Amino acid sequence: MTTNCEEAWAKCLNIIQENLPKPVFNTFFAPIVPLELKGSLLTIQVPSNFFYEYLEAHYIELIAKTLHRVIGSDAKLEYRVVVSKDDVTERPITVRLPGGEIPKNITNGKRTIIKGDNEKIGVYSIPGVEPIQIDPHLNPDYTFDNYVEGECNRLARAAGFAVAGNPAGTSFNPLFIYGGSGLGKTHLANAIGLEVKKNFPDKVVLYVDANKFLTQYMQATRDNNRNDFIHFYQMIDVLILDDVQYFADKQGTQEVFFHIFNHLHQHQKQLILTSDKAPVDLNGMEERLLSRFKWGLAADLQEPDFETRIKILKRKTYKDGIEIKEEILEYIASHVTNNVRELEGTLISLLAQATLNKKEITLELAKGMIDKLVKNTQREISIDYIQKVVCNYFSMSVDVLSSKTRKREIVQARQIAMYFAKNMTKCSLAVIGNAIGNKDHATVLHACKTVNNLIETDKAFKQDLDEIEKRLKM
């Protein structure tokens, strides 16, 4: 247990930082000042009521688990809202942290509760005894309804929905979902679990992170409860194992999971696995385990394209009841391209900056914030974005670029889009042609040649092109 408030909060920040996007952490946690640690009561200072309300609404579970780990199971939290030296809340705001007191390890002949790192991490039954009620550990916010579909995730989402409607009854067993950090693997895996519980309330569903599984297994081995551990997992109807790549080079854990996997698969139970790599790229895994990962369907999640990023931002603003101009959302979507987590984090930070500074959400504010918080993000000029900017300039719908019309203004807009796509992206001519009007590479070459000729001979055309280029580089 830590007794110094600065030291305790520093330890908390180290844990919180690992679980949040950098923009969110910098906006909502970096400004917090630890004031006092009296017994198990930690008092922190926040700069506004908005901060307090937002932390309570979105991050109290994370804060609670962190404080329980750092300070102890009876940790309490108190806020002091200080906007300026002359504006201090009359009395502190004390909140009750979820989770309550953390139970000790107990064995009563009927059940065992495994504990590690000051957190209850799993419950399993002794063989021959009726299983107790199992908490599925699913996040209720990660549903199919708020999972935005796009080309980047369509296959994985469709497969997940099929599994949720008929667990272990499809050929997608196991369903292996893989992709980089922040692309929605955990969201999709939880959505499947929640949908299964809705469709089949009697099924035993369990979501577990691979690191937690490792900790449970080591604790069970130390307590000579390895068989009980295996028996517990063999009772699960739908097992969701997140970040399976952490099993790499852990031979004992791979051995026990191999037996659990075989039992569940043979008894028509559903397995859902996630990883940051495809099965073929997982190093440090036993071949017999890798071969089983390939039995069902391996579905990848890719970085969201511009159109999907816009959908994600619009869904987020609608859900939070915020109105933001289209051009601001487009600016964010064209500059924050790595993953969904960072995209949403940037939007949250923009809202916080506007609220704290009592400013309107403008394009200039978005530019300034992105320069500070996401300065290392490389901007992606996508073909979708190029088409949108070109069509906005000429006041036409993006859909007309794919039409078969031979109207001069539409043909010219298509050629301009192809010209900029060739010069501002790394895409091949074939990819550009397919994306813009479903044309071949020869059409793209002809378009670029036509545009270059017009630049040299038509002054008004060149001015249009310069203006479009300026908008693309904003």
Q: Mean pLDDT lowest for which of 85-99, 195-209, 364-378, 458-472? A: 85-99
Please indicate, yes or no, whether residues 238 and 293 belong to a single structural domain of this protein: yes
| Residue 49 pLDDT | 67
Same domain, 154 and 263: yes
Q: Is residue 15 part of a domain?
A: yes
Say how far apart CA 192 and CA 198 lie, in whole Å.
Answer: 10
Q: How confident is the model at residue 253 (pLDDT cuts 50, 70, 90)?
A: very high
| Structural contact between residues 342 and 336, judged by C-beta atoms closer than 8 angstroms | yes
Residue 273 binned pLDDT confidence (cut-offs 50, 70, 90): very high
Joined tokens for residue 328: 């601001």
Residue 104 lies in a domain: no
C-alpha to C-alpha distances, 148 to 179, 206, 226, nearest whole angstrom: 16, 24, 41
Same domain, 313 and 444: no
- Number of domains the chain contains: 4
Model pLDDT, residue 59: 84
Q: pLDDT tier at 241 (50, 70, 90 boundaries)? A: very high
Confidence bin at 438 (pLDDT 50/70/90) = confident
Could you tell me if 160 and 174 are in contact, meaning their C-beta atoms sit under 8 angstroms apart?
A: no
The residue among 47, 72, 95 that closes a domain is 95
pLDDT at 74 (0 to 100)? 84
pLDDT for the residue numbered 117: 35
Burial class (CB within 10 angstroms; exposed 0-12, middle 13-18, buried 19+) of 415: buried
Same domain, 121 and 83: no
pLDDT, residue 242, reads 94
Question: How deeply is 84 buried, as exposed, middle or buried, from its count of CB atoms within 10 A (0-12, 13-18, 19+)?
Answer: exposed
One domain for residues 25 and 117 = no
CA R_g for the chain: 27
Residue 101 has pLDDT above 90, yes or no: no
421 within domain boundaries: yes
Lowest mean pLDDT among 87-91, 164-168, 216-220, 415-419: 87-91
Residue 465 belongs to domain with CATH number: 1.10.1750.10
Nearest to 124 by CA among 251, 217, 247, 243: 217
Helix (H, G, I), strand (E, B) or coil at 324: coil
Q: How many CB atoms lie within 10 A of CB 104?
A: 9
With residue 35 as reference, give the H or E element that holds it.
Answer: strand 33-38
Per-residue pLDDT band for 275 (boundaries 50, 70, 90) equals very high
Give the DSSP letter string of 377-407. PPP---HHHHHHHHHHHTT--GGGGGS----
Q: What is the pLDDT of residue 111?
A: 30
Handedness of CA 138, 143, 144, 146 (dihedral sign): negative
Cα separation, 318 vs 136, in Å, equals 29
Same domain? 145 vs 259? yes
Residue that terminates a domain, selected from 284, 301, 318: 301
Q: Is the confidence at residue 85, as pLDDT, over 50?
A: no
With contact defined as beta carbons under 8 Å apart, do 234 and 264 qualify?
A: yes
- Percent of the chain's residues with pLDDT above 90: 21
Q: How confident is the model at residue 366 (pLDDT cuts 50, 70, 90)?
A: confident
CATH number (domain holding residue 37): 3.30.300.180
Q: Domain check: are 55 and 127 in the same one?
A: no
Q: Which amino acid is at 390?
A: V
Asked whether the beta carbons of 119 and 89 are under 8 A apart, the reply is: no
**Domain shared by 59 and 158, yes or no:** no
Segment 48-53 shows an average pLDDT of 70
Q: Does 102 map to a domain?
A: no
Query: How far is the C-alpha of 100 from the C-alpha of 148, rounded, in Å?
Result: 34
Q: Are residue 249 and residue 263 in the same domain, yes or no?
A: yes
For residues 372 and 22, give the distance between their C-alpha atoms in angstroms, rounded to a whole number.
11
Q: Quick one: pLDDT at residue 84?
A: 44
Residues 288 and 161 placed together within one structural domain of the fold:
yes
Domain that holds residue 13: 5-95
Tokens of 458: 């038509």
Average pLDDT across the chain, whole number? 80
The DSSP secondary structure of 40-95, one letter per residue, reads TEEEEEES-HHHHHHHHHHTHHHHHHHHHHHT-TT-EEEEEEEEETTEE-SS-EEE
The mean pLDDT of 272-279, rounded to a whole number, is 92
Residues 80 and 211 in one domain: no
Regarding predicted confidence, which is higher, 21 or 93?
Answer: 21
In three-state secondary structure terms, 251 is helix
First to last CA, the chain: 51
What is residue 270's predicted lDDT score, i.e. its pLDDT? 96
- 378 found inside a domain: no
The 3-state DSSP composition of the chain as helix, strand, coil percent (nearest 5) reads 50, 15, 35
Residue 151: predicted pLDDT: 81
Is 138 a member of any domain?
A: yes
Strands (E), 145-257: 175-179, 205-209, 238-242
Same domain, 117 and 224: yes
Helix ranges, 89-184 (H): 154-165
Q: 448 lies in a domain?
A: yes
One-letter amino acid for residue 218 of the chain: M
**pLDDT attached to residue 88:** 44
- Output the domain CATH number for residue 157: 3.40.50.300
In this predicted structure, what is the pLDDT of residue 121? Answer: 33
List CB contacts of 227: < 8 A, sequence separation 6 or more: 127
Q: What is the per-residue pLDDT for 22?
A: 77
More confident residue, 78 or 23: 78
Q: Inform me whether the pLDDT recorded for 429 exceeds 90.
A: no
* pLDDT, tens only, 126-138: 333 344 467 889 9
> Does some domain include residue 100?
no
CATH number of 356's domain: 1.10.8.60
**What gap in Å lies between CA 366 and CA 362, rounded to an integer?**
6
Name, in order, each residue with C-beta under 8 angstroms of 253's C-beta and a sequence gap of 6 or more: 213, 214, 217, 247
Hey, which of 60-74, 187-201, 306-320, 426-440 has the most confident mean pLDDT?
187-201
Confidence of residue 112 (pLDDT cuts 50, 70, 90): very low
Position 145 confidence tier, pLDDT thresholds 50, 70, 90: confident
Q: Which are the contacts of 430, defined by CB distance < 8 A and separation ≥ 6?
A: 440, 441
pLDDT value of position 58: 78
